[in-house]
Chains A and B, each alone.
Chain A
Amino acid sequence: MNVFTRAAPKKGENFELRSDLNSEYRDKRKDAIKRVIANMTVGKDVSGLFPDVLKNMQTEDIEQKKLVYLYLINYAKTQPDLVILAVNTFVRDSDDQNPLVRALAIRTMGCIRVEKIIDYLAGPLQKCLHDENPYVRKTAALCVAKLYDLKPELVLENGFLEQLREMISDSNPMVVANTISALSDIHTAATSQPSTSSSDPAIFNVTPTILNKLLIALNECSEWGRVAILSALARYQAQDEKESEHICERVVPQFQHVNGSVVLAAVRVIMIHMRNVPREDFNKQLIRKMAPPLVTLLSSPPEVQWIALRNINLLLQKRSDILSNEMRVFFCKYNDPLYVKVEKLDIMVRLSNENNVDALLSELKEYASEVDVDFVRRSIKAIGQAAVKIEAGAERCVNVLLDLIATRVSYVVQEAVVVMKDIFRRYPSTYEGVIPTLCANLEELDEPEAKASLIWIVGEYANKIENADELLSVFVDTFTEESYSVQLQTLTAVVKLFLYKPDSSQGLVQRILNTATKDCESPDVRDRAYIYWRLLSTDPGAAKSVILAHRPPISLPRTTVAPALLNELIGEISSLASVYQKPAATFIGLGRIGVESMQHRGTDLADSAKTALQTVAAGQAAENLLDFDDEPAQEGPTGLAATQVLQQPAAKNIMSGTSTNPLDDLVSIFGNTSLSSGAAIPSAAPAIDPLGGFGVVPAATAAPSTASNQQEDLLGLF
């Protein structure tokens, strides 16, 4: 369809636009350009107007120039032959007396990724790198990175890299910052290629001389420049302890910056360089200075807050003393978004201790009466974690849980039961007094986890609960209908009961072993039943020592990520890796990572992956969609992705739009699928009519088969 619009826009909007673009009135032309940009934004194809827009490039009006440039950046690729017409204007602009125009020209040329333009770029870029105006220089510095991205050999041939290195000594801090950004960008690009040797000129390593220049520029440049410089400092390998100390001292003032990303970047540098300083008092002082700015980040907008909270969570795993007296600032506000609240809960538990457990519990209890079910459950879980963590506060935690159970709100009760199980595992035979209350709620439980937890408790204390056999027999009766985890717990609990009270529960254990080995679908349950059965029949003494064995109490892990990974993530503070709390390789690059390479890194994914894994898994389906090329779509996964599109009402926009988007073609093919298979049935129907006397049966079979054939054909197309 694109071909048609390009060839002969006889009428319609593009035709109108074309005539306006060629109008003799300046205002009309400018207005037309604006409309072209508007159409471009919504995804309409206006590439056919390329020559007409290009005519308006040479103008005194900077705003108009910018608009034309914007258009060029978008469509240069589709019209590589015509772009050459723009080169002259670009080259002339890069010599303009107005520095804004010079910078604009060099900035835009770098964004136009057409071979012909690139060949003309070297000259103007060379000049602009030495421009007297710093604004032009800082733009030119980034342009080198753009050029490297497209044609590295051109950068090397023209010696742009050496020039960039010299620019680190520029008198203007903004130029220094952009130079650092450009060099780092080139460095990343160069090192991501496997064949890079350490002598590659593109490698940018911070040397002690550069370090000094960076530390000076740090205090003078803009906020974003500071982040760039701080990231470079984070990569620097300090020569000795003294140098690390020096860096820390120079970076600490950045904690007071109003921009949260500067603060986090400074935290990152300090955490990295602190490792080289063995003096604990020095480190303690840094940590003390770090706390207030971290807390201040909590008054940022929720998204920034969330990033800060995720990073604080990591920092606490590394240095638990950072915010030791600050638990209260993490109390949730009623109107915080859920993702912020959940993070705060986790940090509150981390910061809890004997002294503040009361304040924590009254907060958590408050949260447990809120409306959001997910948040309520997490709050109750947090109570359990606090109980497991703080022995002195466990009794108060149990009391709060009892209060919550008394509310008889179904999900609250169920979560509380699950949590109680963990408390029993941590403090065996301490809170047996609450068992009757728990058992009283037996009928209200409908979630497998809650049921399984309660059954475990009953089995564990079967010798102390008088009516344990009664309670368990209810579950034995419904054994085959229960979910797998409940079955396992019931089986174990009944066997425990039997070992405690062999006389009264012989019948029960017989029944359950029978059911589990004969009528049960789950192989795990069946195998476990067999093991128990054989143990019991051959050596009851051994059975007792196995099944009623003493188990060590559980404890709350201090870290959620493996130590090696934690160190890596601390070095990545404020990045996505620190937010997801997993190594960057798991979610960038191809979006997947092999088990071997993970083991190779000595990290343990299992703990941290939970949340992030979902996103990645979801992403893998969409990956094909993301890595779409402009080439025609291929088979299999693309089709899958396209069906996903079809389910969404938003896809209508794509269908009605006339963009060059390859999705359109797919959507229209799929649109045809339903249409053509729909059409197949009526066409089959009249064919049956003459055979009417033969009855309906062949007709009914004929129609679907035609339809399915049709579909198969279509599938074959992919």
Chain B
Amino acid sequence: MVRAFFIYNQKGELLISRLYRPDVRRTIADVFRIQVISSSEVRSPIVTLGSTSFFHVKINNVYVVAVTKNNANAALVFEFCYRVISICKSYFGKVDEERVKNNFVLIYELIDEINDFGYPQNSEIDTLKTYITTESVVSSQIVAEESSKITTQATGVTSWRRADVKYKKNEAFVDVVETVNLSMSAKGTVLRADVDGHIQMRAYLSGTPECKFGLNDKLVIDKSERGAIDAVELDDCRFHQCVRLNEFDSTRTISFIPPDGEFELMTYRATTNVKLPLRVIPTINEIGTTQVTYLIIMKTGFGNKLSATNVVLRIPTPLNTTSVDCKVQTGKAKYVPEENVVVWKIPRIQGGQEISFNGTAQLTSTTTRQVWARPPIDVDFQVLMFTSSGLIVRFLKVFEKSNYHSIKWVRYLTKASGSYQIRVSRNNFLGNIGLTFTA
């Protein structure tokens, strides 16, 4: 399993070093620095040298590295690295050199707790926070009792929840957040469209509540009330460890005892009937070698009552662009030379609206004839109270011994950031298929 765990800065200096097994030596840290950090070749995230494998993840300006010596479970090692990163994020915000240096004592404490002899241990963030804190804890009678509770919880069947939670007002908030991934050809054909959904829950419920959660999942709806509601087809669902997986497998009911506070209840993926919130129709022409003209039309795909906010289009320009003349009726468009894009920002588009961008890029003449790779147009946006997949939360029932009344809130959000891409390629080969040869 994980033999050693390191965090390096960009120069390859060690910030954190923890050896879990005696068969690795400190010098191994130098090997990674020399072979990976200092060498400039493109390489895979796993490097095996001799019998030692280095798994690394680069985040901001640090390398998070796990070392193994046997035929290790590669997926587990990377999941572990990412777990360390997410735990660190929740403790001190962001993982970068400065914060790692400032929190090194805490990190040592954490990586000691979540991994023993190379085997990952309990890494539930909420539970960890109950006994690894940023203030120092002094061991005494009271603390001992408290620790005894914590440890029972940390290893128990519901390791994610303490038994003695109490709230005056019992509330549960459900946020359905969908990220749309789109890849569309220049002609408007959808090459790939899917939705990564996350259902985020904030539960402020007393005692040990038993929750049941219902969606307009096609498999459930079809069984019960035929065609009453528009059902969605979910390709795959994944759940927080509090959800009883065998129950979902047999009857598709989502039942669980939630952790206290915020957590991600489930993630899902949908690929059928994905509603696209925004449609972008680009027309880009290269005129000679000195000019490129742009006409980009954007239409909304949702009702008049809704609106898309924080819309940002990144429109690629050739590398030898000198200036871009932009005309827009809505929002602001600006050429950003260092990224070779025109950034068009629109604070809000109401449903049913259609807006356009007109632009001309002036190019310098270059001596070498270099082909412009034409990266795709990238669109970021947010649409409140809209789900691309059509998913709806049908109910959330809370059962508790004391039978209290609880209030539930549901919000929907569809967004895209960096994954909603419209290609602007020059030609589409399908048009040339009828080409004939001369033998």
Contacts and interface: CB of A to CB of B under 8 A. Distances in A.
Contact of A260 (B75, B120, B249): B75
Interface stretch (A275-283, A451-459, A472-480, A581-589): A581-589
A143 to B, nearest CB: 8
Given A261-B76, A650-B33, A224 B52 contact: no
B191 A331 contact: yes
Given A296-B269, A329-B192, A338-B42, A362 B429 contact: yes
Given A253-B248, A304-B75, A361-B429, A626 B191 contact: no
B191 A41 contact: no
Contacts of A146: 117
Contact of A628 (B25, B246, B425): B25
Interface stretch (A365-373, A481-489, A600-608, A697-705): A365-373
B49 A256 contact: no
Interface stretch (A402-410, A540-548, A551-559): A402-410
Nearest to A33: B105
Given A174-B155, A618-B49, A101 B139 contact: yes
A175 interface: yes
B78 A42 contact: no
A433 B120 CA distance: 62
Interface in A62-108: 62-64, 66-67, 70, 74, 96-101, 103, 107
Interface stretch (A3-11, A128-136, A198-206, A509-517): A128-136
A371 B26 CA distance: 40
Contacts of A619: 48-52
B279 interface: no
Contacts of A172: 155-156
Nearest to A332: B183
B286 interface: no
Contacts of A403: 427, 429, 432
Interface stretch (A119-127, A155-163, A491-499, A569-577): A569-577
B139 A369 contact: no
Interface in B55-75: 55, 57, 68-75
Contacts of B429: 361-362, 365, 399-400, 403
Given A628-B27, A648-B38, A333 B151 contact: no
B183 A333 contact: yes
B22 A369 contact: no
Contacts of B419: 333
Contact of A224 (B28, B121, B151, B264): B121
Contacts of B239: 256-258
Contact of A134 (B27, B117, B151, B241): B151
B119 A178 contact: yes
Chain A interface helix/strand/loop/mixed: helix
A409 B271 CA distance: 37
Contacts of A293: 236, 238
Interface string B137-154: 111110110011011101
Interface string B280-320: 00000000000000000000000000000000000000000
Interface string A174-214: 11001001000100100000000000000000000000000
B439 interface: yes
B373 A369 contact: yes
A274 interface: no
Interface in A313-335: 328-329, 331, 333-335
Chain B interface helix/strand/loop/mixed: mixed
Nearest to B137: A62
Contact of B75 (A135, A258, A307): A307
B109 interface: yes
A266 B46 CA distance: 23
A97 B53 CA distance: 41
Interface string B184-208: 0100000110101000000000000
B397 interface: no
A615 B49 contact: yes
A651 B117 CA distance: 30
B220 interface: no
Contacts of A436: 438
A138 interface: yes
A625 B50 CA distance: 9
Given A133-B148, A369-B371, A650-B34, A60 B139 contact: yes
Interface string B16-33: 110101100111111101
Contact of B373 (A304, A371, A589): A371
A174 B158 CA distance: 11
A506 interface: no
A110 B235 CA distance: 46
A369 to B, nearest CB: 6
Given A42-B14, A113-B22, A590-B51, A138 B155 contact: yes
Nearest to B426: A369
B359 interface: no
Contacts of A41: 14-17, 104
B421 interface: yes
Contacts of A135: 151-152, 154-155
A288 to B, nearest CB: 12
Contact of B138 (A60, A407, A576): A60
A576 B68 contact: yes
B375 interface: yes
A412 to B, nearest CB: 9
B235 A295 contact: yes
Contacts of A587: 48, 51, 53
A139 B376 CA distance: 52
B428 interface: yes
B423 interface: yes
B253 interface: no
A307 B78 contact: yes
B112 interface: yes
A591 B26 contact: no
Interface stretch (A13-21, A215-223, A706-714): A215-223
Nearest to B141: A97
Contacts of A98: 139, 143-144, 147-148
Nearest to B7: A41
Interface string A149-168: 11000000000000000000
Given A362-B428, A575-B71, 9 more contacts: A41-B104, A224-B76, A228-B119, A253-B245, A257-B239, A304-B79, A328-B191, A403-B432, A576-B71
Question: 5 smallest A-B Cβ distances: which pairs?
Answer: A433-B437, A135-B151, A292-B236, A623-B50, A584-B71
Interface of B: 11-17, 19, 21-22, 25-31, 33-35, 37-38, 42, 44-53, 55, 57, 68-76, 78-82, 104-105, 108-109, 112, 116-117, 119-124, 131, 136-141, 143-144, 147-148, 150-152, 154-157, 159, 181, 183, 185, 191-192, 194, 196, 235-241, 244-246, 248-249, 264, 266-267, 269, 271, 371, 373-376, 418-419, 421, 423, 425-430, 432-433, 435, 437-439
24 contacts: A41-B14, A41-B16, A43-B29, A61-B139, A96-B139, A146-B117, A174-B154, A224-B80, A253-B248, A256-B239, A257-B239, A261-B75, A265-B76, A293-B238, A295-B269, A296-B236, A328-B192, A333-B419, A338-B42, A576-B68, A579-B74, A648-B38, A650-B34, A661-B27
Interface of A: 30, 34, 37-38, 41-43, 60-64, 66-67, 70, 74, 96-101, 103, 107, 110-111, 113, 133-136, 138-139, 142, 145-146, 149-150, 172-175, 178, 181, 185, 188, 219-220, 222-224, 227-228, 231, 250, 252-254, 256-261, 264-265, 292-293, 295-296, 299, 301-304, 306-308, 328-329, 331, 333-335, 338-339, 358-359, 361-363, 365-366, 369-371, 396, 399-400, 402-403, 407, 409, 431-434, 436, 572, 574-580, 584, 587-591, 612, 615-616, 618-620, 622-623, 625-628, 630, 644-645, 648-651, 653-654, 659, 661-663
